[in-house]
Structure 1
Amino acid sequence: MFTGEEKAVIAVALTMEKPWDWKPGGTEEATLVAAKVKIRDLHRARHGDRCCYCRFPLHGGGHFIVDPEHVLPKSLDSYRPLAYTVWNLGIACKRCNMQYKRAKIDFVIDAVTAAAFQDSANYRLIHPNFDLYKEHISINMEMNDDATLIKYTKRPGSEKGLYTYDYFNLQEREVGTFDAAQGLDVPGDLEKGALEAQELARQFGQ
């Protein structure tokens, strides 16, 4: 993924106190920026231009809207070497990253063993790179000129879906007046949930 020059500059950056924010200037900085753009574009494609935690659309958003997300926070000494590690990165909205996730690691089961860091089972939340979001939570969004309805549907038996829904307060993300229908477990299959969401959107738009 990275060129030889990018790998070399990243190696130097990782020796700094703040490797992701290191600004050496000149060619080195330009090379580092190019590596960051590669990481960003990869995760934008991987997540369909949506926040890796709430799946809210980020398409067209610049750096004021879209945050590079370090699952294991780069601000903590233990995880600083992972600042440019692709599996530890994603893209997130400001709400999820700054209001809820921040530099916390309470969602990590084993916060010490390096071998556990690349294991989905080591994370209580839906990991951006080790889990498929739709296997844990389905999201339906309906919008028109005057109304928006967002509904998260947790898959039955998914502890990660429940944890992520609560951790990022996704109920707050849901929009609509039909409170009883929001955030419920999937009653049967996702198709039925999608049909219910479409009906709610139709009523909400009236």
Structure 2
Amino acid sequence: MELVFDELDLVDIETAINEGGKIWYNPVLNRLKDKIKDFYTSGDTSKCCYCGKLFQGEFRMVIDIEHVLPQAHFASERFEIQNLNVACKRCNMLIKKDDLTFLINPAIANNYYDSNHYKIIHPNLDIYSDHLILKTFRDGDSIFNKYVVKTKDKGLFTYGYFHLEKTEVDTINNSQGIKGNKGLTDKIRGAIRVRLYQLLVKI
């Protein structure tokens, strides 16, 4: 099953584009946005397309519709189905935002949906578990996350780019009643951060 836009969706998209301004935030798109979220969050295994955090029981407002290629740089891909998925606010707003260092060549001009253009695991072009596996263990109220990095390219890059080591530490700290700290890694973006992890993480 795949996400498909019907005639009514296309009319709403055309209306939003023709009205201009902040196209993605036009209220005429609210029904379309609900459709996208419903598609990706239906079922018990709905999750953030980058960190794998489960959305089960989450309030819909904490789930973002994600444009893999950011709208700020790739407006033409705003409504391209292969460019859409859902992400947690941590991965989407705190980390990725409008950054382009996850691309092999940020000046990518065509053939946007070739997996080889992406350093990260693309949620619609790649199979996540081929590169990264999230193992979650629960002991009563304590939850522990551990990522298994399977590939030195996309797996390792995604692990570093989205600070996934920090989510592992945070789940352990939280289980012990230790409040999380924003560390230096929160301020190191993109390829530099990944290079640090290449020095620290062995596959």
TM-score, length of structure 1 as denominator length: 0.74
Superposed CA RMSD in Å reads 2.2
Matched, 1:176 2:179: no
Structure 1 pair 47–130 and aligned structure 2 pair: CA distance change class (3 A): farther
Contact 1:124 1:160 in 2 (8 A): yes
1:158 corresponds to which of 121, 144, 152: 152
Distance 2:115 2:21 in 1: 28
Tell me the amino acid that sits aligned with residue 61 of structure 1: E
In structure 2, list runs of 5 or more residues that go unmatched.
174-200
* CA displacement 1:17-54 (0-9 Å, x = unmatched): 3221013xxxxx2xx32222222222235993111110
1:70 corresponds to which of 67, 70, 73: 67
* 1:82-97 equivalence runs, <5 A: 82-97=77-92
Residue 8 of structure 1 is matched in structure 2 by 11
Distance 2:162 2:118 in 1: 14
TM-score, length of structure 2 as denominator length: 0.75
Residue 198 of structure 1 is matched in structure 2 by none
* 1:19-34 equivalence runs, <5 A: 19-23=23-27, 29=28, 32-34=29-31
**Percent identity of equivalent pairs:** 33
Larger Rg: 1
Distance 1:63 1:45 in 2: 12
Distance 1:95 1:152 in 2: 17
Structure 1 pair 134–60 and aligned structure 2 pair: CA distance change class (3 A): same
Distance 1:184 1:170 in 2: 15
* 1:85-124 equivalence runs, <5 A: 85-124=80-119
Tell me the amino acid that sits aligned with residue 164 of structure 1: T
Structure 1 pair 58–137 and aligned structure 2 pair: CA distance change class (3 A): same
Contact 1:154 1:184 in 2 (8 A): no
2:126 corresponds to which of 128, 131, 137: 131
* 1:37-48 equivalence runs, <5 A: 37-45=34-42, 48=45
In structure 1, list runs of 5 or more residues that go unmatched.
24-28, 178-182, 186-206
Structure 1 pair 64–38 and aligned structure 2 pair: CA distance change class (3 A): closer
Distance 2:82 2:41 in 1: 13
Tell me the amino acid that sits aligned with residue 54 of structure 1: C
